[in-house]
Amino acid sequence: MWLVIHLLIITGLSARVLLRPRRDPASRIAWILFISALPYVGALAYLMLGEVRPERVAGRPARLTRAPVAASASPVLSAADAAGSLPGFALGTSISGFPPVGGNTAQVLKDSNATIDALVADINAATDHVHLLFYIWLSDRNGSRVADAVARAARRGVTCRVIVDDLGSREFIRSPHWAAMAQAGVKLGRAQAIGNILLRILKGRVDVRNHRKIVVIDDAITYCGSQNCADPEFAIKPKYAPWVDLVLRFEGPVARQNQTLFLEDWYLCSRENCEDLLQRAVKRTDGDVVAQVIGTGPESPYSAMPELFATLMFSARRELVISTPYYVPDAAMQAALCACARRGIATTIVLPARNDSAFVGAASRSHYAELLEAGVRIHEYVGGLLHAKTLTVDGEMTLIGSANMDRRSFELNFENNILFHDAPLTRAVRQRQEEYITRSRAVHRADVETWSSWLRLRNNVMAMLSPIL
């Protein structure tokens, strides 16, 4: 009887793994091997982690109105600029429906504290609405400053809507700041609410999270980058501090695109349809930054983010520089990065020397030998946890936002990024990347060759398990 049950579990779940749509072969093989080796543990793990079924709401609009953005803010690119920019912009449009738009200005904010200073100042100056979404919001100095500013804005009549991820910000939701904002009249939403953990497991993976960081103020100002609403000392993981982030503040039509993304998430949390906000005239500036919001999630086309990263890599003609805290690529993206270096592009990737996830740190290093052999320059940042997610191409184009280069961002998380074309602004991001490199140690092939067999074994096992975890 136990043998029959054993075989039924293995056969049934293996068939389910093979029949699930949108799963790459490596992931299917990894799950089938895991279930075959440990049927009962594997079955439980698969039910909890194996299938992505993001929360849905009956009647939720798949996409709010986006036409006004395209109609009133078309981009102006020279033929030379368009040659390198259009592949990335075209793919970005196919992913989330937003066209690249001109008429924007933007600035790179100095550091995490300067970002909070600017955010509080903008909230204090808001006259119509404040919309904030953070994966992690902490009750520390910076988190408290923003919460207080939002509460003040609500009390003076500004409509304030706040979304936090139910898991990432669980401590903040229980804090007095959450209650104080509600009392002040702030409208609050919890993304990917967990509720009863057992019932939540039956709905699918608990770790499908809203990892976005979105700020929209008065439909004219938006922020985009890697920073959560917290101090750089990051109290929940202080031994990795400071957390080093990069955030840009934009003004112009691109704010409407982030607004749309926010309001779709807001509807999911609150059932409040705010589509009327998207019928207002789009606010332009006299800037020349051409920018595009790219929002992804489990409901996006399969491999949306890896395809975007690879497209930008292949569009590079002279230089490609990347910073990311988590590098666990699929095979196609690893091949694209190697190919970039092999065709003579100056290719650099900057990673944290000490990762807050030992699993991710080990899996990342399993790819070092192949990258170095192809000619990719690898630097490990030693001044804290490098959390900035940046990609610059030829000193002209930049991708910044919340998405990491790992399977979690590719398949599980809701992410938001901005792709923009502007040489001066990209130079500012590139200068920040150079600061990261200056505070890093270079990794050479000789370093990797000295790794012990045990270390290489650990790294490769972690990489092998990445399609499961």
**Cβ–Cβ under 8 Å, residues 318 and 104:** no
Contacts of residue 129, Cβ cutoff 8 Å, sequence gap at least 6: 158, 159, 160, 161, 216, 217, 218, 219, 277
Catalytic residue positions?
Answer: 211, 213, 218, 387, 389, 394
If we measure between CA atoms, which residue out of 357, 346, 338 comes closest to residue 393? 346
CA distance 9 to 62: 36
User: Which tokens hold the place of 428?
Assistant: 């500012």
414 forms bridges with which residues in the sheet? 210
If we measure between CA atoms, which residue out of 60, 210, 194 comes closest to residue 133? 210
DSSP 408: I
CA distance 98 to 455: 44
The secondary structure of 315-370 as a DSSP string is H-SSEEEEE-S-EE--HHHHHHHHHHHHTT-EEEEEEESS-S-HHHHHHHHTTHHH
Cis bond leading into 329, ω under 30°? Answer: no
DSSP 380: E
**Residue keyed to tokens 């779940």:** 13
Distance of alpha carbon 283 from the chain centroid:
26
The secondary structure of 128-178 as a DSSP string is SEEEEEES-B-SSHHHHHHHHHHHHHHHTT-EEEEEEETTTTHHHHTSHHH
CA distance 421 to 393: 9
